[in-house]
Amino acid sequence: MADIDAVVTGAGGFIGGNLTRVLLAEGRGVRAVDRKPVHEWHQVHDGAKNVVSDALQRDTCAEILDGRASEVYHLAADENS
């Protein structure tokens, strides 16, 4: 896979999964992130780097972004709020 061009948080959800699909179809390198286990994701794309991590936790944000992505689509939400 190419370098990571875009990070999509909330990628396990309906909108995040579809956005990941579109970005991959454009030939982009995508890191798809969600805090749910991958088997619970609405969509899983083999072309993406699928990561289970909580984007709402400050200490994991640097790891999720990894300093290489030029775009971040933050679709993660706290469903308890």
pLDDT tens per residue, the chain (81 residues)?
Answer: 458 889 999 999 999 999 999 999 999 999 999 999 999 999 999 999 999 998 888 888 888 887 678 899 999 877 665
With respect to residue 28, please indicate whether it lies within any of the assigned structural domains: yes
| Count of CA atoms in the C-beta half-sphere (13 A) of 61 | 8
pLDDT at 65: 82
With respect to residue 13, please indicate whether it lies within any of the assigned structural domains: no
With respect to residue 9, please indicate whether it lies within any of the assigned structural domains: no
Range of the domain at 24: 19-54
Radius of gyration over every alpha carbon of the chain, rounded to an integer in angstroms: 11
pLDDT at 1: 44
How many CB atoms are located within 10 Å of the residue 47 CB?
17
Q: Number of structural domains, the chain?
A: 1
* Amino acid residing at 74: H
pTM as predicted: 0.88
With respect to residue 79, please indicate whether it lies within any of the assigned structural domains: no
